[in-house]
Amino acid sequence: MRPLALVAASLLAFSVAAQDTKKEIQRYQQMIGEGSPVELFELEGETLWKKAQGPKQVSLAKCDLGLGPGVLKGAYAKLPRYFRDADRVMDLETRLVHCMQTLQGRSAEDVLRRVFGNEDRPSELEYLSAYIAAQSRGVTMSPGTSHPKEKQALELGRQLFFHRAGPWDFSCASCHGEEDKRIRMQDLPVLANPRDARPVVATWPAYRVSNSQFKTMQWRLNDCYRQMRMPEPIFASETTVALNLFLTATGKGEPYRGPGTKR
């Protein structure tokens, strides 16, 4: 075979192999999704939602996640959004922490003590996130983007996404800003592109099989900052909520299919 034809043939074989790998990984993702323990977290979350806690010995049942007190169906799909009673944009975890304090009378110190759990003991917020997100299955993701504070947060989130900082001069865009990048076996989604943001936004929060832990968006953002060697963002801060809104808004329009199950 002539040299050029040989090169062409081997390049074709290489790209076919790459396509096969991608297909097999998608099959893995599909199969773990079909046999996932994530529902167990949803069940525990339901129990916690209904549990009387705090000095006021009241459950979270009247917590308003944006669609009215106690309305859970479709509420996650509308987050992050502006809340008048707090006068700020909030994501799910921020709103839960708010309800724990205002409804149940719990202190900030109490509710923020252990926001991220582990495989032996998931956190309350992780269980609650699983339960509440599940109530938005099938609902179109449509976070708030019209209120002035939502617009502000969206713009802040966009700037944060592209802002380079830290010892490595990384931004979110360093890994998630260019096509055809991957880390080991994971293709990196270009999160500023709706095409890639949509499936991501539709499958978080998620159960991570690699460490048997249920992970939320606040955790995901926190961990990205850690991986960029940047200072740890404050839980439920303006920064994290703005980034979450930017990502969710970029991925809006997708029917929610979580909570997800991931590697």
Partner 1 sequence: MNPLRRTLLGAASALLLKPFAALAAWHKEAFGAKSAPDALKSLGIANAAPSQDVLIEAPQIAENGAVVPVEITSNVKGTTSILVLIDKNPFPLAGKFDFTEGALPFVKVNLKMGETSDVRVVAEAGGKHYFATREIKVTIGGCGG
Partner 2 sequence: MAAGPMKMRATLGGGYTEVRVLMTHPMETGQRKDADGKLVPLHFIQNLTVKVNGRTVIEGQISQAVSRNPVFSFRLRGGAKGDKIEVTWLDNQGETNKTDTAVA
Q: Which residues bind partner 1 (CB under 8 A)?
A: 21, 24-25, 27-29, 31-32, 34-35, 183-186, 209-212, 223, 226-227, 263
Question: Could you say which of partner 2, partner 1, none residue 31 binds, taking C-beta under 5 to 8 angstroms by partner kind?
Answer: partner 1
> Binding to partner 2 by residue 20, rule CB under 8 A?
no
Catalytic residue status for 175: no
Query: Total residues at the site for partner 2 (CB under 8 A)?
Result: 12
Q: Which residues contact 28 (CB under 8 A, 6 or more apart)?
A: none
Question: Could you say which of partner 2, partner 1, none residue 40 binds, taking C-beta under 5 to 8 angstroms by partner kind?
Answer: partner 2
Q: In the bound complex, what is the minimum distance in angstroms from residue 50's beta carbon to partner 2?
A: 14
Q: In the bound complex, what is the minimum distance in angstroms from residue 153's beta carbon to partner 2?
A: 35
> Of 145, 254, 131, 262, whose CA–CA distance to 195 is shortest?
254
Judged by CB under 8 A, the residue of 14, 15, 16, 37 near partner 2 is 37
> Binding to partner 2 by residue 44, rule CB under 8 A?
yes
Binding mask 99-118 for partner 2 (x = CB under 8 A): -------------------x
Integer Cα distance of 158 and 138 in angstroms? 27
Catalytic residues: 224
Q: Kindly list the residues in this chain that would bind partner 2 in the complex (CB under 8 A).
A: 35-37, 39-40, 43-44, 118-120, 209, 212
